[in-house]
Structure formats: C-alpha cells, structure tokens
Amino acid sequence: MTDDRSQLASLIKDNAVFFGDFTLTSGVKATYYIDLRRVSLDHRVAPLIGDVMVELIADIPDIAAVGGLTMGADPIASAVLHRGVLKGKAYDAFVVRKEPKDHGRGKQVEGPDLEGKRVVVLEDTSTTGGSPLAAAAALEKVGATVVAIAVVVDRNTGAKEVIEAAGYEYRAAISLSDLGLES
C-alpha cells in the first residue's frame, strides 16, 4: 500500500467508521457504518482522497470526466478534479441526479457535455453496486462511455462482482482489511 493510501485508510478508520446497528442505503443491515462524508468534506483529507483516486485511475487512457450519483460521489469527483490538475490531468467533473429534473432542461447528468467522452464513475463506499450502476446507465443515455467504476472504500459485499458482471472494470482504493474490518 502506498503512503497516501495507508494514510487515507488510517484517517478513514479513525474518523469515519462507526459501530452499532445500521441500515445502509441498499437496505442491507450492518454492524458498522463508513461515513465517508466525514472525511471527503474535510479540508485536510479531501486532497488526500483526490491524490489516491487520481493514482487509482491514472493508467486509464483518455478520461474526460469523473463523477457519480449525488451525493456520495460529489466530493470525491471534486477532489479528483482539483488534485488531477496538480498532476497534469484534465479531468472535468459531473454529477448524476437520482432522477432527471422535473423543471428547467430536465437533465439527470449535470456538468460538461459528455457525449462521446470516456468517463469514470466514482463512489465513496460500495455495498451492492447499485448507485454506480445507476450513474453508469444515466451516463450511457447521454452518450458517454463508462470505462471504469472506482470506489474509495469497498465493503466487500458483492459490489465488485455485480459491477464486473455488468461489464465494467471495477477499482477500489481501500479495502475492509485496510481498515481492520471483517466483511
């Protein structure tokens, strides 16, 4: 594990892992909750998340933009956009709404025009893979090519297998073992 990944895992473990009885967005019950917004919106940790995620996707050619389903992916995309610039990458960011707007232009995908562009879907924490797959479907409707799905923390609960079965490359920066957690 790189120094940045190790430092990020430590910060997540110390500041964003909570124990108790939780129901995840997917409806799955869990004895711990990883609240990545506790660190992804922290001025000290967001740049580190950006660095780790830029490194995670750096070998994928011709990425035009990164983003995912609002709200979990939003700070991750912003961090990747900003830290990517420092590393010579020109990643734009986008936001995918859960549903198209019912007013204005009725858009579901906000940000730059992505038609014909290669994009990476980001997610903060993956459980079932439902959120990044919903984002991928919305992106494909606007003509984007989803080249990978990259998550900060993989809960090791089947998202990788579901995403790969749907035909997407799956990448994760931090695993449960990196956090000292069992699946």
Which range of residues forms the domain containing residue 56? Answer: 3-179
In the chain, the number of structural domains is 1
Strand residue runs (E) in 51-105: 65-69, 92-96
**Distance from C-alpha of 156 to C-alpha of 159, rounded to nearest angstrom:** 7
CATH number at residue 154: 3.40.50.2020
Please report, in tens digits, the pLDDT of each residue of the chain (183 residues total). Answer: 689 999 999 999 999 999 999 998 778 788 999 999 999 999 999 999 999 999 999 999 999 999 999 999 999 999 999 999 999 999 999 999 987 766 666 689 999 999 999 999 999 999 889 999 999 999 999 999 999 999 999 999 899 999 999 999 999 999 999 999 975
In 15-133 the beta strands, taken as DSSP E runs, fall at 17-23, 29-34, 65-69, 92-96, 109-110, 118-126
| Global pTM value | 0.94
